[in-house]
Structure 1
Amino acid sequence: MSFRIVILAAGMGSRLGRALPKPLTELNDGRSIMQQQRDNIRAAFGPEARVTTVVGYRAETIIDAFPDATYVHNERYDQTNTSKSLLRALQATGKKGVLWMNGDVVFDPRVLGRAISFIEQDVSFVTVNTAKVSDEEVKYTIDEAGHIAELSKTVVGGIGEAVGINYISRADKPAFMRHLARVDDQDYFERGLELAIQHDGVNLLPMDISDLYAVEIDTAEDLVHANEYV
């Protein structure tokens, strides 16, 4: 498989109320959130998997913790959202397909194992959980062909939630990047995906992991929930 892996870790994570960047938050098993992500990446794709990490807030603390990674800096981390952080990473990864994840997701190692067949076929996907649909999370709907139709926090009638782990194929990447460049600074990357679907006919499959765990850590309550699994 010839692709790149990106971890988005530029944000301040103010809701969690920690001094360090959120990806460095320690879990009950002694690992940080980012360490468990990197362990999961190695388990699925081997020790040679290349990881590009987007940093911003207190970037030096993440770089010191993981000096072997490749880094892209979003100096405007306090003025922009994940759309612009991801755009910087996609620009730095050439023409290859990219698997990316939010740097605050604690997830079952089997999630990436499930993704391998999609990546081998170079098929764009969004990882989803249909077990719950919370108003404050990114929700989705599908079209008649089973592809993602809508993807945002404002979706009405969502059939599940996006987990924050996604893949964009080599063929779909240019259109996605164009729309990431045009969206507002405060937009999430999901807005770029929605526009690529609407204007370029990009097809994204939902990869359902409802039987596995994946917890995005926004609050102290989320952290408690994630620690039930690790």
Structure 2
Amino acid sequence: MTTQVVILAAGMGSRLGRSLPKPLTELSDGRTIMQQQFDNIHHAFGTAAKVTLVVGYKLEHIIEAFPDASFVYNEQYDQTNTSKSLLRALQASSSGGVLWMNGDVVFDPAVLDRAAAMIAREQSFVTVNTSKVSDEEVKYTTSAEGYIKELSKIVVGGLGEAVGINYVSAADKATLVRQLARVGDQDYFERGIELAIEQDKLLIEPVDISDLYAVEIDFAEDLERANLFV
């Protein structure tokens, strides 16, 4: 089955202070953040992978840069957060599971090799980094069985940080869609996952990629750090 991949790229990314959408920020190797993501996707899943971009802010620039992708429009990109962008993408997806990522993450190609093994098992997962736990990042805890228990920025005693590359299996997708529809417009998609775990007993595995690089680009110093890897 063709792997379905969603990249969330609707936001304004104002903290980085660039005029173009953040995923089009150029890296030191000449690629944009999003091109690095496409290269990683093709490395792990081949060029047949179906990539859908959720667009909003200055969408014409992203469409021009990646004309062969599919697109979902979040017309409320300036009023909603990633929960509603992901909701639109999952509602537009074909049958089967969906791998998704934030459009501002620069990451090691091996991350998706690790993800591919989980996808082959049809196991929903969240990639995590246990090497640091920053207050401003999405953190997580696990249950006694080792599945994700809590997943938010306000988690106390977090075991690590969520990286922003996740997968929902075909069996779990309808549940996540229902919960994403329920959460607030300003909620991150992690809130939908957390509610699905709490209310629907969804089993989401943490996939530790602490030995690999993954940098979320919010500020200029993040971009400098990412450029050390590419």
On whether the aligned pair clears a TM of 0.5, the verdict is yes
Output the CA distance in 2 between the equivalents of 1:60 and 1:218. Answer: 22
Output the CA distance in 2 between the equivalents of 1:170 and 1:67. Answer: 27
SS at match of 2:176: helix
Name segments (4+ residues, structure 1) moved above 6 Å: none
Specify the alignment match of 1:79 in structure 2: 79
Deviation, structure 1 residue 95: 2.5
Output the CA distance in 2 between the equivalents of 1:223 and 1:2. Answer: 32
Report matched runs for 1:1-230 at 5 Å: 1-230=1-230
CA contact (8 A) 1:97 1:122 kept: yes
Output the CA distance in 2 between the equivalents of 1:26 and 1:155. Answer: 33
Deviation, structure 1 residue 96: 1.3
Output the CA distance in 2 between the equivalents of 1:2 and 1:139. Answer: 31
Deviation, structure 1 residue 116: 1.0
TM-score normalized by structure 1? 0.99
What are the ranges of 5 or more consecutive residues in structure 1 without an aligned counterpart?
none
Output the CA distance in 1 between the equivalents of 2:38 and 2:19. Answer: 22
- Per-residue CA deviation, residues 121-173 of structure 1 (Å, 9 max, x unaligned), is 10000000000000000000000000000000000000000000000000111
- Per-residue CA deviation, residues 65-97 of structure 1 (Å, 9 max, x unaligned), is 000000000010000000000000000103210
Output the CA distance in 1 between the equivalents of 2:16 and 2:136. Answer: 16
CA contact (8 A) 1:124 1:167 kept: yes
SS at match of 2:171: coil
Deviation, structure 1 residue 45: 0.4
Amino acid at match of 2:223: L
Output the CA distance in 2 between the equivalents of 1:60 and 1:151. Answer: 33
Q: Percent identity?
A: 71
Output the CA distance in 2 between the equivalents of 1:199 and 1:127. Answer: 22
Output the CA distance in 2 between the equivalents of 1:47 and 1:188. Answer: 29
Amino acid at match of 1:223: L
Deviation, structure 1 residue 2: 4.1
Root-mean-square deviation (CA, aligned residues, Å) is 0.6
CA contact (8 A) 1:2 1:96 kept: no
SS at match of 2:38: helix
What is the aligned residue count?
A: 230
